[in-house]
Amino acid sequence: SENNKQFTIAFSQCIGDDAWRETMLDEMKRELSFYPDIEFIYRDAGGDNQMQAQQIKELLEHDIDLLIVSPNEAEPLTPIVDSVFQKNIPVIVTDRKTSSSLYNAYVGADNLAIGKLAGQFIVHTLNGKGEVGIVTGLKGTSASIERRKGLLDALDSSGIVRVGVEIQSDWERQTAYTQAKEHIEQLLEQDIILAFNDQMAFGVTQALQEAGEYNKRVIGIDALPGEGNGLSEIVKGTLFASMLYPTGGTEAIRTAMAILQRKPYKRDNILGTVVINQDNAGLMMLQSNKIQEQQKDIDKRQELIVEQNKIYRNQQTTLNVLITS
Residue ranges that bind ligand FRU, judged by CB under 6 A = 15, 18, 20-21, 95-96, 137, 141, 143, 171, 197, 199, 221-222, 245
Kindly tell me which of 175 and 261 has the beta carbon lying closer to ligand FRU.
175
CA–CA separation, 316 vs 311, rounded Å? 9
* Distance of closest approach, residue 77 Cβ to ligand FRU, in angstroms: 13
* Distance of closest approach, residue 137 Cβ to ligand FRU, in angstroms: 6
* Distance of closest approach, residue 4 Cβ to ligand FRU, in angstroms: 35
Ramachandran assignment for 101, one of left (phi > 0), alpha (psi -120 to 50 degrees), beta (any other): alpha
CA–CA separation, 303 vs 305, rounded Å? 5
Task: With beta carbons less than 8 A apart as the criterion, state whether 219 and 241 touch.
Answer: yes
* Distance of closest approach, residue 266 Cβ to ligand FRU, in angstroms: 21
Kind of pairing, strands 66-70 and 8-13?
parallel
Kindly tell me which of 49 and 197 has the beta carbon lying closer to ligand FRU.
197
DSSP state of 229: S
CA–CA separation, 148 vs 143, rounded Å? 8
* Distance of closest approach, residue 6 Cβ to ligand FRU, in angstroms: 31
Kindly tell me which of 55 and 260 has the beta carbon lying closer to ligand FRU.
55
* Distance of closest approach, residue 43 Cβ to ligand FRU, in angstroms: 15
Kindly tell me which of 32 and 221 has the beta carbon lying closer to ligand FRU.
221
Kindly tell me which of 90 and 115 has the beta carbon lying closer to ligand FRU.
115
Kindly tell me which of 15 and 218 has the beta carbon lying closer to ligand FRU.
15
Q: Report the DSSP beta bridge partners of residue 166.
A: 134
Query: Burial of 156 by CB count in 10 Å (0-12 exposed, 13-18 middle, 19+ buried)?
Result: exposed
CA–CA separation, 128 vs 130, rounded Å? 7
Task: With beta carbons less than 8 A apart as the criterion, state whether 269 and 95 touch.
Answer: no
